[in-house]
Amino acid sequence: MTARPPASTVPSHRLSVAPMMDWTDRHDRYFLRLLSKRTRLYTEMVTTGAILFGDKPRHLDFSQEEHPLALQLGGSDPAQLAECVRIAEQWGYDEVNLNVGCPSDRVQNGMFGACLMAKPDLVARCVEAMRGATRLPVTVKHRLGIDDLDSYELLTQFVRTVSGAGCDTFIVHARKAFLQGLSPKENREIPPLRYEWVRQLKTDFPHLTISLNGGVKSLEEARAHLEWADGVMIGREAYQNPYLLALADSTIFGETAPAPTRRQVVEALQPYVEELLARGEYLSRVTRHILGLFAGLPGARGWRRVLSERGTRPGAGLEVLRDALAQVPAHVLDSPATPPSAGVPGPRSEGVSDGVQAQPAALAQEALEPSAQHRA
């Protein structure tokens, strides 16, 4: 269990990284925290059954450095959710979030995720039970609608009903979900983004905290949405191009401390990796999450190749990380994080072969196309 920091030090939802299955595990979150101290992080979705009947430390343990950190729960039984919230508070989390957005078949069979959009009264009972069991904030992440239940009127009915149970923070993925006919990946891409609906929600419910999720690929986009939204949640882009978070503290939160260089990030990660290896864990548990650190830059291909080909071998240690770092030119390693508008070279286009999506080994494929059940 990990102690929570005092509430006054926990930042708002102004910027967060989405919960993503197989991606935002504790090792990825530790890495992301080296890039931004203020951005709110979320766990992968954890089902109530996994917590109540499974290995609690495996599902819930995290590092003190990961704060502010929210636990995302998947479930629809109010009593079970309430018990999980009690456990989450004891474990030291800063927030508990209810998943009402995942459209996968597996999640639907468990009667949670996006299918709950059709049952606002049940979601309200879940929220009421969760809030009654904890002092932590209880939030809801949801879609605009599902299948034919996709009118703005039904969306407002959902928000009104759930907020009536005491939820005051809604993270809205600005797409509907198709429960049949589309894969989870297709549900992240095919339904059109409707940012105007989320903006209207904020107009219609000014007393609620409304955060936007879906399709945001840069801090510049996030800052534009923050002209009207209370918060912005970034998903896949924060995983595939994580260094964008290096400027989050200054660009979004107004901090004045300089952002870390990529070399500084890797060096700061090494003690964590050493501890992991000392516990008998595999190097790849961490390295699969850092493949995109140099996305689009000179040396990125060599960095990924060394980590992907050698990081999965038995006995792989810190020498692999150091050798991968040696593939990247010094001027890239030590270049300060600077907004693109300042004219400093950013990621260059080298075609698909040098993009994160084209990693050469099975580990890289696992990192970017795992058998995940949901993404933001």
Residues serving a catalytic function are 102
Q: What's the gap between Cα 27 and its chain centre?
A: 12
Q: Compute the half-sphere exposure of residue 217: CA atoms within 13 Å on the CB side of its CA.
A: 2
CA dihedral 153, 156, 160, 163 (to 10 degrees): 160
Structure tokens at 349: 């286009």
**DSSP secondary structure letter of residue 31:** H
Structure tokens at 107: 């999640």
CA distance linking residue 32 with residue 29, whole number of Å:
5
208 in Cβ contact with 231 (< 8 Å): no
- For residue 15, list its beta bridge partners: 232
Nearest to 304 by CA among 238, 236, 355: 355
Q: Where do runs of H (alpha helix) occur along the chain?
A: 26-35, 48-53, 56-60, 78-91, 105-109, 120-132, 152-164, 184-187, 195-204, 219-225, 236-240, 248-251, 262-278, 284-287, 300-310, 318-325, 330-333, 362-368
Which pair of tokens denotes residue 82? 């309430």
Contact 12, 230 (CB under 8 A): yes
Q: Kindly list the strands in the beta sheet with 69-74, ordered across the sheet, starting from the edge strand earlier in the chain.
A: 15-17, 231-234, 209-213, 169-173, 138-142, 95-100, 69-74, 41-47
DSSP reduced 3-state for 258: coil
Q: Which residues pair with 70 in a beta bridge?
A: 42, 95
Distance CA 233, CA 173 (A): 9
Q: Which of 258, 234, 253, 263 is nearest to 337 (CA)?
A: 258
